[in-house]
Structure 1
């Protein structure tokens, strides 16, 4: 990492030091771009977890940090779906096994604070990366470069600004990019648990009338939980003592992992969605939650953002090799066209699954149940869905990833 006081002109300025922003900055720097990472600080207190699918693991391995993350992660070798709606039409229990794709796991689950810490440590070691510890307060975009205004009248300029500054992205707003927003009548209660029985590296998702109840493995006899309920139910859950909450959650999980104990403070997050109508502006590209937000279902959120990062990194490298302007409209238009199909299809799929759990409309219940039944009974369809769940358009030979080291 270079000294921010010695440099104010960069190839790329990444705004935001969440996992997507830090990964993007590291990738660009590793490809030879003089990169600035602009954010006040890194979040070291985030007790939530992230399930990194294989395509994301490959990206983190490419920038040289997966070996540091692997000992802190739990493999997700099986994904088990259980219809717990209690409705007239119910889907059969369906289990997806990574062994069918000749993979050790679909992905790996780890604590966000571990992911953030290791990304930050890698940023400190990277010579082409400057961490500017400041809040971006304004932007000017013109034909030649973008200017990022910081506190005390300081500025930096770059050929390209990459906005990884979240769902309320000031950079996106400064570029005049509109978004579509929507809300769900649901709240996600998120926490980590310890339990008596081993999880067997299996993620279990109960489909309930209020939304998914998902247990995702962590190292040892521990799991992270996302429990989607109505707002008033979320308020009641987080108000319980740890002992009462553990018993309530164990009941909802039908004791499949034995006795529960609470391992982290429960948090609640209202569910909402967002898609940006453009992924680019003048000398600006959007990634992660600056571009798309949807409910925590199917481990798609950060993984979709990291596919943004990988795509943009490849496009910028190609432009550099061809001596093209990395911030030019034509360059960024390639990125936008490449990413829209993946973003729109994932957003639609997650939205449809979530809404299908909320409705009593029999044809919708039938369609969801039939889909899971066919996935369970037709191996080629099941393997196709598993591959597409990891990343769109993948083939078995292209999604292998390093084994976790003991």
Structure 2
């Protein structure tokens, strides 16, 4: 039943039940801020996976969940990119090796369901964190407070709201923050497979005319598959019988992992993009897909979101040392300034790479091939790309 008593004023209210929302709530609570999380019940069935880079893993370790997750992950030690466009101008095969950066691995791949369950368990046991099951229905911003009414009938009042409620964010819309949106003529078909040959901790990405076809290691002889296709191509794959689909995926993978056997249900998602014009509003900060959305290329999505959380909680923590209000405009301005460059660079890079695969315009194909050639042959440039792929050149740095 809804709580009819006047709401307690918290330091922060976080809205959103995905990894970004739960990680933000845990991190803020562990800074000593009284925090309330408004999130729907966890969706139990999710066969998708996420590749987490080193900075993301450090954040998960800091909030106390990585130790419970590490045993269910697969290391990513090498990343192989292969031009399978079959066009006149083709790029050379490029292999990125973590050992070049004096790292054991770039990161780890994990099932979303395992990550979500570990985060939910931690949220339920975390001191200084209250959890309300439901979604945000209305929000009111003022100069000093934010009031959020949940679908459960509960109300949360706080000095700062963190919006992690996705691309259709109610909190962002209520604050009047405009977004730029766009769509692609593609869908991502995702599933997991078992395979006959070991993956050797290598993620393999075939660049095709419809988009990337990617195999990302999972524990044992399993990998997650992300196949970017046209809408009709996605429908054709989904409609195939299991044995036909296994053979088709093995063909697209050029049998680098041997024969395939389906290990999860097949899902598909239209590809689109979104950028918020601002990351903050009155008593409001946007993180994750509330602020930015782009195609699943280069494992940038959740890693970019966790850098949002890292930077937001860092500026709030510095403010606490000065006894500042977590929703102070100066703190929010500092957060926005720290994040915009990274978000724009990642969005533009992923967008450019995706579009370069779709076009047959010869100069674009030449430019992409030259870039891949340099990545293959020029060591400093290759190592620069590896470092930039995991973390921006400002702020957090990978050793080596």
- Smaller-chain TM-score bracket: over 0.9
In the alignment, is residue 291 of structure 1 matched against residue 296 of structure 2? Answer: no
CA distance in 2 between counterparts of 1:273 and 1:266 reads: 22
1:96 maps to what in 2? 96
Residue 150 of structure 1 deviates from its aligned partner by: 2.1
1:391 maps to what in 2? 391
1:139 maps to what in 2? 139
| 8 Å Cα contact 1:81-1:95 kept in structure 2 | yes
1:356 maps to what in 2? 356
1:31-77 Cα offsets, whole Å, 9 max, x none, are 11111110121222111000001110111111111111110000000
Residue 347 of structure 1 deviates from its aligned partner by: 0.1
1:404 maps to what in 2? none
1:175-197 Cα offsets, whole Å, 9 max, x none, are 00000000000011000010000
Describe the shift of the 1:365–1:135 C-alpha distance in structure 2 as closer, same or farther (beyond 3 A). Answer: same
| 8 Å Cα contact 2:76-2:203 kept in structure 1 | yes
In structure 2, the residue corresponding to 1:137 is in which secondary structure? Answer: strand
**Across the two proteins, how many residue pairs are aligned to each other?**
398
Residue 398 of structure 1 deviates from its aligned partner by: 4.3
1:167 maps to what in 2? 167
2:32 maps to what in 1? 32
Residue 30 of structure 1 deviates from its aligned partner by: 0.8
CA distance in 2 between counterparts of 1:381 and 1:151 reads: 51
2:148 maps to what in 1? 148
In structure 1, the residue corresponding to 2:47 is in which secondary structure? Answer: coil
Residue 6 of structure 1 deviates from its aligned partner by: 9.8
In structure 2, the residue corresponding to 1:393 is in which secondary structure? Answer: coil
CA distance in 1 between counterparts of 2:198 and 2:348 reads: 34
CA distance in 2 between counterparts of 1:154 and 1:382 reads: 52
In structure 2, the residue corresponding to 1:235 is in which secondary structure? Answer: helix
| 8 Å Cα contact 1:387-1:394 kept in structure 2 | no
Which sits farther off after the overlay, 322-331 or 304-313?
322-331
In structure 2, the residue corresponding to 1:273 is in which secondary structure? Answer: strand
Stretches of structure 1 lacking an aligned partner (at least 5 in a row): 402-406
2:317 maps to what in 1? 317
2:208 maps to what in 1? 208
1:83 maps to what in 2? 83
2:119 maps to what in 1? 119
CA distance in 2 between counterparts of 1:28 and 1:4 reads: 26
CA distance in 2 between counterparts of 1:5 and 1:99 reads: 57
Describe the shift of the 1:344–1:159 C-alpha distance in structure 2 as closer, same or farther (beyond 3 A). Answer: same
| 8 Å Cα contact 1:4-1:130 kept in structure 2 | no
Residue 262 of structure 1 deviates from its aligned partner by: 0.6
Describe the shift of the 1:5–1:248 C-alpha distance in structure 2 as closer, same or farther (beyond 3 A). Answer: farther
Residue 335 of structure 1 deviates from its aligned partner by: 0.5
2:177 maps to what in 1? 177
Residue 400 of structure 1 deviates from its aligned partner by: 6.0
Cα RMSD after superposing both structures: 1.7
2:271 maps to what in 1? 271
CA distance in 2 between counterparts of 1:221 and 1:353 reads: 29
| 8 Å Cα contact 2:38-2:150 kept in structure 1 | no
CA distance in 1 between counterparts of 2:321 and 2:132 reads: 27
| 8 Å Cα contact 1:4-1:132 kept in structure 2 | no
TM-score (norm 1): 0.95
In the alignment, is residue 231 of structure 1 matched against residue 231 of structure 2? Answer: yes
CA distance in 2 between counterparts of 1:232 and 1:255 reads: 24
Describe the shift of the 1:323–1:362 C-alpha distance in structure 2 as closer, same or farther (beyond 3 A). Answer: same
Describe the shift of the 1:152–1:216 C-alpha distance in structure 2 as closer, same or farther (beyond 3 A). Answer: closer
CA distance in 2 between counterparts of 1:307 and 1:41 reads: 25
1:200-252 Cα offsets, whole Å, 9 max, x none, are 00000000000000000000000000000110010010011111100000001
Residue 399 of structure 1 deviates from its aligned partner by: 3.0
Which sits farther off after the overlay, 281-290 or 150-159?
150-159
| 8 Å Cα contact 1:388-1:394 kept in structure 2 | no
In the alignment, is residue 22 of structure 1 matched against residue 22 of structure 2? Answer: yes
CA distance in 2 between counterparts of 1:57 and 1:154 reads: 33
| 8 Å Cα contact 2:49-2:110 kept in structure 1 | yes
In structure 1, the residue corresponding to 2:136 is in which secondary structure? Answer: coil
Which sits farther off after the overlay, 139-148 or 150-159?
150-159
CA distance in 2 between counterparts of 1:302 and 1:135 reads: 21
CA distance in 1 between counterparts of 2:35 and 2:42 reads: 17
1:1-26 Cα offsets, whole Å, 9 max, x none, are xx998963210000001011111111
